[in-house]
Amino acid sequence: MYGNMMQQPLLISSLLQHAERHHRDAEIVSRRTEGGVFRYTYADLAARCRRLANVLQGLGIQQGSRVGTLAWNGYRHMELYYAVSGHGAVVHTLNPRLHPDQVVWIADHAQDEVLFFDTTFLPLVEAIADRLKTVKAFVLMTERQHMPQDSKISNLLCYEDLLENASSVYAWPGLDENSASGLCYTSGTTGNPKGVLYSHRSTILHSFAVALPDGMNCSATDTILPVVPMFHVNAWGLPYVACMVGAKLVLPGPNLDGQSLYTLFEAEGVTLAAGVPTIWQGLLTYMRENGKRFTTLRRTGIGGSACPPSMIRTFQQEYGVQVMHGWGMTETSPLVTMGVLKDKHTGQDPEKTLALQAKQGRAMFGVDIKVLGDDGNEIAWDGKTPGELMVRGNWVVSSYFLSDETATLVDGWFPTGDVATIDADGYMQITDRTKDLIKSGGEWISSIEVENIAVGHPGVAMAACIAMPDLKWAERPLLVVIRKPQMDLREDELLQFFEGKIAKWSIPDEVVFVDQIPLGATGKMLKNKLRESLATHKMRVRAK
Amino acid sequence: MYGNMMQQPLLISSLLQHAERHHRDAEIVSRRTEGGVFRYTYADLAARCRRLANVLQGLGIQQGSRVGTLAWNGYRHMELYYAVSGHGAVVHTLNPRLHPDQVVWIADHAQDEVLFFDTTFLPLVEAIADRLKTVKAFVLMTERQHMPQDSKISNLLCYEDLLENASSVYAWPGLDENSASGLCYTSGTTGNPKGVLYSHRSTILHSFAVALPDGMNCSATDTILPVVPMFHVNAWGLPYVACMVGAKLVLPGPNLDGQSLYTLFEAEGVTLAAGVPTIWQGLLTYMRENGKRFTTLRRTGIGGSACPPSMIRTFQQEYGVQVMHGWGMTETSPLVTMGVLKDKHTGQDPEKTLALQAKQGRAMFGVDIKVLGDDGNEIAWDGKTPGELMVRGNWVVSSYFLSDETATLVDGWFPTGDVATIDADGYMQITDRTKDLIKSGGEWISSIEVENIAVGHPGVAMAACIAMPDLKWAERPLLVVIRKPQMDLREDELLQFFEGKIAKWSIPDEVVFVDQIPLGATGKMLKNKLRESLATHKMRVRAK
């Protein structure tokens, strides 16, 4: 027997319609690649999305067609999010930081039919346009005045011209809520990139979870600035959440250095920002060096890679900004866990709270987590025993897009490739990537644990811990460190810093100081590259 | 083309499983009808729900079967919420405040197969048991020691005995998320009661909306006390929300007087409570008379009928408790709008904020509102022109249960029977029930507006404004008032109080002081009864 309630599909166009009706004059403020700041309202956004949907129609985009974007966080990218998905097509956010060959491979694999891109990426697109077999039209996201006089791209269209000439009348189609709405490729460190095809339903349910008080806690009194790129797992869903709750949205454009961000935070009264630790490191450094304070920022979502406890402490204790440490992947939309407290933690010792917040957090309703031992059985939630983290739920991938990898799931759970513990309260902590674990004398050493301690030292800017082969112990940890400017940190000094903070056998045998650590397109350290470049490094044998 | 995300139905059993896994030791604290306070955890709840599901199975309850309850807010009622719906059956919460004939009519219409009831309602059930044609089993929600020696009910079962003898092994079935999960009848003032049949999907989506920061803002750091009964639109969804977010839940049992509530608030550290204005009036009176303060309460949800501005002021300014004034109906699950602020209201004059909060609020994502004029066209959102309030969305009824009323919806919208305005920011204000409006000299007078002013007078305990026939003006307002104890408020004094607060022609012509105003089963004033009892009242003709 069915209930007698109305049946309305969960659609991305409903988010836009909600914002247009109920938050008409809430603002979207964007830094433009062409310079300057652009501001308009949700009512303006909705009106322009209707024009854009007509443009897509005119370009032959049908339900299910893929539309590629190479763009920063800006209002036109936001328009593509809503117009493409609302029209029933799939917005495919390409990562412009990837190698051009990879961009070509991915756009080709996705069969993108139109490519929209910011002025920043004109050289990139000019270099690869001929190789993009399925792309029928290239649209530069700018006005006529910023169009190149002469481009290598023969069929280059102007975004604003297209919109100006399009009808403003468009009715968002009714769609099956399980229809594909967005596509994002994981830039895996091994093998070809794999596409995750989101649906309207998964996007809406994920947005609800992200907006919850124990998610990123978003309301109409917030001004939200996603530093995390819209080409990186949909900026953690915040462009959708903003419409759902009617928050003011600030889109930072291409410049994500500390000064640019800080200026924007203060000018627009940002209350909630979200990004990866490396970005926040830049912001905090700028603020410390220039004696700045936040006047409006209340909370920051941190994820993408583990947030060092020292950063949580700095944000909370020095700047009064609450850190919400989360975890997720492209395959999980991304938010699965958030490091937020429970009633039982109220009034506990702040150091305990800090330790808890350093974990990646507990599962939100709608998804579930577990850890599996080598034997494939679920490990008890003791907060100690690590195992492979498995995830399932309404916004978790079930298979990759147009992929031969059929056996992605294990018993209906997605294997993340992360190693984690879960404690009795459900708080999960990533101890490592499966492939980054260091096995020494039969014991596992967590590279992340070692790195977190290292970056807690005032002289360390960045640190990576990798396994080196060892005749006696099988593997031993090597610590690779970038010093902070003007700091002459010595190896013995840094190794001493580990004493008492970690099991003795987990302390690295050696520190190598470098000028650079290779970063991937999403800002994560590429430890496989490090391992390659240090393959011939001879470890010093140390007294144990 | 479909997305490649996991497909998991939105089920009420998922809420329970989430709470059991991720909030094992969060507490549920209940005042028992048998006396005393009972406390256990979500893990305990889940374990007992599995036993209860086996009991239901044993009693022949199948998917779609209706299971009736006559119960206060307590842990066993909570178990029925989850076990009945989780098992695939329909939990039908009967309102014990209705006339016994109505209870019989409703249980009969719903075809309830089993009736679970609190000890309080043994006399009621004994009186009507013979007339309940479809009920095969009666279960008294208590232990063996509180069972009656000798009952008129031949097949009276003991809840705790049943649970004790049931297996603890039970796997929640996979269900279609559109399956019926709950049933609640509206106690309409005219015609037969009508049943609203909720689904798992509508319940989960509603719970997300209620838990949002701009809903009732619920998190795992909250201790939630629903004063609103679990037999009244599922206590506004809070028993579901509590599992979704892992909040501590406090269930007050039968005693809802000011002292009982205040004691429980303080003993259990309640942070969020929800109820109707008449209940809060009792609580505030108790607190004022006894000089009490809240030490933990942060927010209160108020709905069911319009919250007088004076009550909002008292909660916020005297007690520092934020009021969340909302609106909904049995037909809407119930939450549709919440009177919460936007970014643009930050820092505005507190009196403006108070005026805004007196409105019923703006629509949450997932539902939409509009007002229709007499011509059936949508009225512009000017905050002034009233029209009939129409609602649609994922948790709004599309038709009544087993009802012949086929044409419930108008163009896919549910006509609420309320008259309201909507302002440019989307804030809706109920001005009246369609049938309570007073038409005087071609102008509409809002009875709610008149009542709100009246209860703002320190001498007024309760006030109802009704239309009286008038030869010259067609109708004129009569104000019916209950004085506060020991207050000798005079008519001219009260009428003077209206001067300058309302249009002159809206001021009532006369005040009648009474000892009682008839209240319906959900605590609302029954103005139709008042109109009946005052039908022969001769209005004094006043100088205008």
Per-residue model confidence as pLDDT tens digits over B473-482: 888 999 999 9
From CA A470, how far away is CA A467, in angstroms rounded?
A: 9
Distance between B395 CA and the closest CA of chain A, angstroms = 6
Can you give A351-382 as a three-state secondary structure string? HHHHHHHHCCEEECCCEEEEEECCCCCECCCC
The DSSP H or E segment spanning A517 is: none
Shortest CA distance from A395: residue in chain B: B5
| CB distance A343 to A316 below 8 Å | no
Catalytic site residue A444? yes
Distance between B288 CA and the closest CA of chain A, angstroms = 29
Altogether, the residues listed in chain B come to a count of 544
Range list of H helices, B129-190: 159-165
Cis peptide before B123 (omega within 30 of 0): no
pLDDT tens profile B206-220: 999 999 999 999 999
Sequence-ordered list of residues with C-beta below 8 angstroms from that of B13, at least 6 positions apart, any chain: B82, B85, B86, B172, B173
B-chain residues within 8 Å CB-CB of A241? Answer: none
Bridge partner list, B432: B419
B-chain residues within 8 Å CB-CB of A18? Answer: 363, 365, 368
Catalytic site residue A529? no
Q: Taking Cα atoms as reference points, which of A466, A386, A417, A381 lies closest to residue A189?
A: A417
Q: What percent of chain B has pLDDT over 70?
A: 97
pLDDT tens profile A283-311: 999 999 999 999 999 999 999 888 999 99
Catalytic site residue A344? no
Sheet containing A414-422: order of strands: A367-372, A387-393, A414-422, A428-433
Torsion, Cα of A25, A28, A31, A32 (10° steps): -90
B244, amino acid identity: M
A215: its two tokens: 């998610």
pLDDT tens profile A224-256: 999 999 999 999 999 999 999 999 999 999 999
From CA B364, how far away is CA B381, in angstroms rounded?
A: 17
Query: What average pLDDT does the segment A416-437 reach?
Result: 90
CA distances from B176 to A108, A367, B173, B179 (A): 38, 18, 10, 5
Lowest-pLDDT range of A78-92, A310-324, B154-168, B428-442 = B428-442
Determine whether the interchain pair A5/B341 forms a contact, defined as Cβ–Cβ distance below 8 Å: no
A-chain residues within 8 Å CB-CB of B10? Answer: 205, 394
Bridge partner list, A371: A389
Catalytic residue among B69, B93, B142, B186: B186
pLDDT at A148 over 70: yes
**DSSP letters of B331-345?**
GGSSEEEE----GGG
Q: What percent of chain A has pLDDT over 70?
A: 97
pLDDT tens profile B324-381: 999 999 999 999 999 999 999 989 999 999 999 999 999 999 999 999 998 889 999 9
Determine whether the interchain pair A181/B401 forms a contact, defined as Cβ–Cβ distance below 8 Å: no
From CA A428, how far away is CA B54, in angstroms rounded?
A: 33
Query: What average pLDDT does the segment A392-412 reach?
Result: 87
Catalytic site residue B444? yes
| CB distance B72 to B234 below 8 Å | no
pLDDT tens profile A440-477: 877 778 888 899 899 999 999 999 999 998 888 888 99
Determine whether the interchain pair A178/B7 forms a contact, defined as Cβ–Cβ distance below 8 Å: yes
A-chain residues within 8 Å CB-CB of B181? Answer: 3
Distance between B194 CA and the closest CA of chain A, angstroms = 12
Model confidence band, residue A190 (pLDDT cutoffs 50, 70, 90)? low
Mutate to test the interface with A, among B6, B225, B341, B422 (most CBs of A within 10 A): B6
Determine whether the interchain pair B5/A221 forms a contact, defined as Cβ–Cβ distance below 8 Å: no
Catalytic residue among A439, A493, A505, A532: A439
From CA B180, how far away is CA A332, in angstroms rounded?
A: 30
A-chain residues within 8 Å CB-CB of B5? Answer: 197-199, 201-202, 333, 394-398
Give the nearest partner residue to A212 out of B14, B211, B248, using CB atoms: B211
Give the nearest partner residue to A3 out of B178, B223, B365, using CB atoms: B178
Q: ipTM score here?
A: 0.89
Average pLDDT score, chain B: 93
Shortest CA distance from A183: residue in chain B: B3
B429: its two tokens: 């204000």
B-chain residues within 8 Å CB-CB of A14? Answer: 365
Give the nearest partner residue to B8 out of A10, A393, A426, using CB atoms: A393
Model confidence band, residue A371 (pLDDT cutoffs 50, 70, 90)? very high
B-chain residues within 8 Å CB-CB of A6? Answer: 392-398, 412, 414
Catalytic residue among A186, A271, A416, A431: A186
Greater confidence, A484 or B216?
B216
Helix (H, G, I), strand (E, B) or coil at B234: helix
CA distances from A438 to A416, A468, A472, B303 (A): 18, 8, 14, 58
Catalytic residue among A285, A444, A484, A524: A444
Model confidence band, residue B278 (pLDDT cutoffs 50, 70, 90)? confident
